[in-house]
A = this chain, B = another copy of it.
Amino acid sequence: MSNPVLVEVLRGPLTESRHRGSVCVMDADGATVFSLGEVAAPVYPRSAVKPIQALPLVESGTADRYGFGEEELALACASHGGEPAHVEVAQRMLGRAGLDVTALECGTHWPLFQTATQALARSGGAPSALHNNCSGKHAGFLCVACAAGADHHGYVAAGHLVQREVRAALEDLTGMALAEERCGTDGCAIPSWAVPLPALAFAFARYGTGHGLAPERAKAAARLRAACAAQPYYVAGTGRFCTDIMLRFGARVLVKTGAEGVFCGALPEQGLGIALKCDDGGTRAAEVTMAAMIARFLPMSDDERAVLERFARPTLRNWNGTEVGGLRPSAALV
């Protein structure tokens, strides 16, 4: 059995490629609003649950203790492009806890944003762990450890205080026990616990509304959502889907991408959570699918719909800038 086609890639007169996958939209009471494909399979949420992984940073009082504002909280939820401003905020976060880049255990890579990579090389620089797209999340983890008086070394391990708190938040939001036999290691070295899409969509419906959450947790989620809405540049960066969508829709949409074609989101005013996975891990198809889900479930003006259409049906151009094709959501999504 196979999942349905979510996105078609067109070139000239033909469909050149096809992306299959599954999608689920839930409300905060746990009712299924939309479901497509085999949604019972466990999915590693990867970076798509960073907004949930950032809850301990706020709930524990760490964010207040270190004087974090919207930029820091947005960066704690981010898969950022490694642009100078991202690096600066991550460094600032570490500094508040008396740490520096050497404390980060996420590993080093060149900035995801190609222009930032070119600028860094042009200046004779080399990347550090601060350029890792997860450095803001990891800086937040380190701050939680330090504020709790715990040894921060090994904070990426499942047994460390920080990951235990992150796991508890994920279990609470998803309503599921996370199992060792469904745990993989993420690109940034922390555990990624696989859960089915309905549990992820449910978690984001609760995250977006606070419905069914303890008051302090609901308040922390609202504060993180507000930070992402106010500073979406710090959640991703230049030219990125998450940033561009939240710049346009503000607090009406929370979206967070994850590796291997995962995407989660919340439509707080509608009380809905969205979770999707492109079978083949394709980011381009996950973005088109998320745009189609927003178009389907978020009431919006004609102007907003026209903007969203550019994300739901992006154009493909060749190196000369000539339009040669495009992507489109399948009929099952729209």
Contacts and interface: CB of A to CB of B under 8 A. Distances in A.
Contacts of A285: 280
A102 interface: no
A194 interface: yes
A16 B44 contact: yes
Contacts of A281: 9, 16-17, 282
A257 B44 CA distance: 30
A124 B121 CA distance: 9
Interface in A122-165: 122, 124, 132
Nearest to A9: B281
Interface in A289-334: 318-322, 324-325
Interface size class for chain A? 35 or more
B183 A13 contact: yes
A85 to B, nearest CB: 19
A109 B319 contact: yes
A180 to B, nearest CB: 9
Given A121-B117, A320-B107, A183 B280 contact: no
B318 A189 contact: yes
A28 to B, nearest CB: 28
Interface centre among A17, A189, A321, A322 (most CB of B within 10 A): A17
A92 interface: no
Contacts of A322: 185, 189
A108 B321 CA distance: 10
B18 A184 contact: no
A9 B188 CA distance: 18
Given A18-B279, A320-B105, A13 B121 contact: no
A86 interface: no
B184 A14 contact: yes
Contact of A325 (B17, B108, B184, B325): B184
Contact of A14 (B20, B44, B118, B318): B44
Contact of A107 (B11, B44, B260, B319): B319
Contacts of A280: 17-20, 278-280, 282, 285
Contact of A182 (B13, B117, B282): B13
A43 to B, nearest CB: 8
B20 A20 contact: yes
Given A109-B319, A117-B118, A124-B122, A16 B260 contact: yes
26 contacts: A2-B20, A9-B281, A11-B260, A12-B182, A12-B192, A14-B42, A16-B260, A16-B281, A17-B281, A18-B280, A19-B280, A107-B318, A107-B319, A108-B319, A117-B118, A118-B118, A118-B121, A184-B324, A184-B325, A185-B322, A187-B324, A189-B319, A278-B280, A279-B280, A280-B280, A280-B282
List 9 tightest A-B contacts by C-beta distance, closest first: A107-B319, A12-B184, A121-B121, A17-B281, A280-B280, A11-B184, A118-B121, A2-B2, A107-B320
